[in-house]
Amino acid sequence: MSTTPTTPRTSPEGGDKMATGDFAGDNRSAATLRDSVGDYVGRLRGGDMGSLPAILGLVVLLVVFGLASDEFFSLLNMANLAVQAGPICLLAMGLVFVLLLGEIDLSAGVAGGVAATVAAQFIVDRGLPWYVAVLAAIAVGALIGLIIGELVSRLGIPSFVVTLAFFLGLQGVILYMIGEGGSVRVADPVIRGLTIENVPVAAGWVAAVLLTLAFAAGSLLRQRRQVANNLQHDPMSVVLIKISVVAVVILGLTAMLNINRSLNPVFPIAGIPYVIPVVVVLLILWTFVLNRTAFGRHLYAVGGNAEAARRAGINVLRMRVYAFVICSSMAAISGIVQSSYTGKVSTASGGGNVLLYAVGAAVIGGTSLFGGKGRALDAVLGGIVIATIANGLGLLNQASFINYLVTGGVLLLAASVDAISRRRRSAAGI
């Protein structure tokens, strides 16, 4: 397409409207903090819950587990919790793109397992450098997504059927590559270090400060540009509150993780686990893609109303293919990080509850199963919630069935909130 078409109005969290922030009004700019709060309350009443349920749920989980276990808020466990959440967040971020279109990818978990197996075998069997193996793994993930996307978009086969077939078939591929009951050890120091090594303390502080300053500068410049162009914008008080919250979160987590958390005074452990910068970089990348590019606007438009998007000149088939390619590519990265955490790949890699946890993370974070509504940040918030449940119940030595029951209950609650919110938004004409 030589020109960028005018896209139809998308969901409250889609397109350009996402860039204005959670407190932005629908048709006007709030003049004061009080007006912004009023607008936000109005949106909540209209069914636009956003990530609020995930945030409130996370707060409740932190309080409950913090009171129930003395070890939960220990520095060592907080670092371990961040590492546990990493693969879930990465896979959920990829699934957000598919869910935005109202589709599903049941094969994402095992696609990540296949990609991780390719990376491990390239390093162990062929002696290739880690970066070549990682690029090959991502390419395998992208190829899987390309095939799925073509089958869904060109042939019109429901994504549930196609990805279910790939879910079964890719498990056979892993079994063929590794052998029944076998495994491949992940010993490369760079890949293994993603989850067992930490960023140097000084480098962590520099990165945290730069990230905070970049967010502050970007927020202020965006607000100034919106005011100058007479566009919808937040009042300066809201912008400063957002900057303050982000600064507290980033600098607070950095300070906590940079404290020595080793139980052995002879071997100090301090610094941010490398998996966290990986998640942050990809979060920034996909947030920019969804919020600031024509691709992101088109994706929201197709998810909101595919027929209207097609009439507006958007290539709906191509958008579906791209979404599945991104999803499977992110699955490959998630699979590599998971193999770093476990130290191996096996015939079970990517199977079990990996996909269910990732889908649950995206939905719990605020991504709609009906399409057109969601953010990359939703995946991270939901991933932290899922990891917190598993981590907290593990510390309490609860039986495995409790973990499944609690996680399933939280997911069902999140899906119910999504359905009710969608109904209220429709009734309100949002």
Check whether 23 has a pLDDT greater than 50: no
Position with higher pLDDT, 88 vs 11: 88
User: Binning pLDDT at 50, 70 and 90, where does residue 287 land?
Assistant: very high
User: Binning pLDDT at 50, 70 and 90, where does residue 227 land?
Assistant: confident
User: Measured between alpha carbons, how far is 89 from 42 in angstroms, rounded to an integer?
Assistant: 30
Check whether 278 has a pLDDT greater than 70: yes
Check whether 29 has a pLDDT greater than 60: no
What's the pLDDT score for residue 286?
96
Check whether 100 has a pLDDT greater than 50: yes
Check whether 107 has a pLDDT greater than 80: yes
Task: Indicate the helix (H) or strand (E) that contains 345.
Answer: strand 344-346
Q: What mean pLDDT comes out for the span 213-219?
A: 94
Helix, coil or strand: residue 100: coil
Position with higher pLDDT, 29 vs 275: 275
Specify which residues 273 forms β-bridges with. 198
Q: Checking phi first, is residue 84 left (phi over 0); if not, alpha (psi -120 to 50) or beta?
A: alpha
Task: Indicate the helix (H) or strand (E) that contains 115.
Answer: helix 108-124
Least confident piece of the model among 179-183, 238-242, 278-282: 179-183
Backbone angles phi, psi at 355, to 5 degrees: -65, -45
How far is Cα of residue 49 from the mean position of the Cα atoms in its chain?
18
Check whether 327 has a pLDDT greater than 60: yes
Of all residues in the chain, what percent are helix, strand and coil, respectively (each to 5)?
70, 0, 30
* Residues 332-353: tens digit of each pLDDT: 999 999 999 999 998 888 887 8
Position with higher pLDDT, 34 vs 64: 64
What's the pLDDT score for residue 430?
54
Position with higher pLDDT, 20 vs 142: 142
Helix, coil or strand: residue 314: coil
User: Binning pLDDT at 50, 70 and 90, where does residue 427 land?
Assistant: low
> Which residues have CB under 8 Å from 110's CB, separation 6+?
166, 167, 170, 171, 174, 349, 350, 351, 355
User: Measured between alpha carbons, how far is 156 from 254 in angstroms, rounded to an integer?
Assistant: 47
* Residues 291-305: tens digit of each pLDDT: 999 999 999 999 989
User: Binning pLDDT at 50, 70 and 90, where does residue 315 land?
Assistant: very high
Least confident piece of the model among 49-53, 61-65, 378-382: 49-53
What's the pLDDT score for residue 8?
47
Least confident piece of the model among 102-116, 309-323, 384-398: 384-398
Amino acid at 243: I
Backbone angles phi, psi at 152, to 5 degrees: -70, -45
Contact 70, 349 (CB under 8 A): no
Task: State the average pLDDT for the chain.
Answer: 86
Least confident piece of the model among 34-48, 251-265, 290-304, 364-378: 34-48
Angle subtended at Cα 289 by Cα 94 and Cα 146, rounded to the nearest 5 degrees:
45
The CATH number fitting domain 15-40+50-197+294-425, selected from 3.40.30, 3.30.70, 1.10.3470, 3.30.420: 1.10.3470
Position with higher pLDDT, 426 vs 274: 274
User: Binning pLDDT at 50, 70 and 90, where does residue 25 land?
Assistant: very low
Least confident piece of the model among 18-22, 87-91, 276-280: 18-22
DSSP result, 228-281:
HTT-----HHHHHHHHHHHHHHHHHHHHHHTS---SSTTS---S-BTHHHHHHH
> Which residue spans within 56-190 are E strands per DSSP?
183-185
What's the pLDDT score for residue 11?
42
Helix, coil or strand: residue 188: coil
> Which residues have CB under 8 Å from 297's CB, separation 6+?
7, 10, 14, 15, 16
Most confident stretch, 18-27, 369-378, 410-419: 369-378
Backbone angles phi, psi at 321, to 5 degrees: -60, -45
Check whether 28 has a pLDDT greater than 60: no
Contact 140, 115 (CB under 8 A): yes
Nearest to 167 by CA among 337, 331, 375, 54: 331
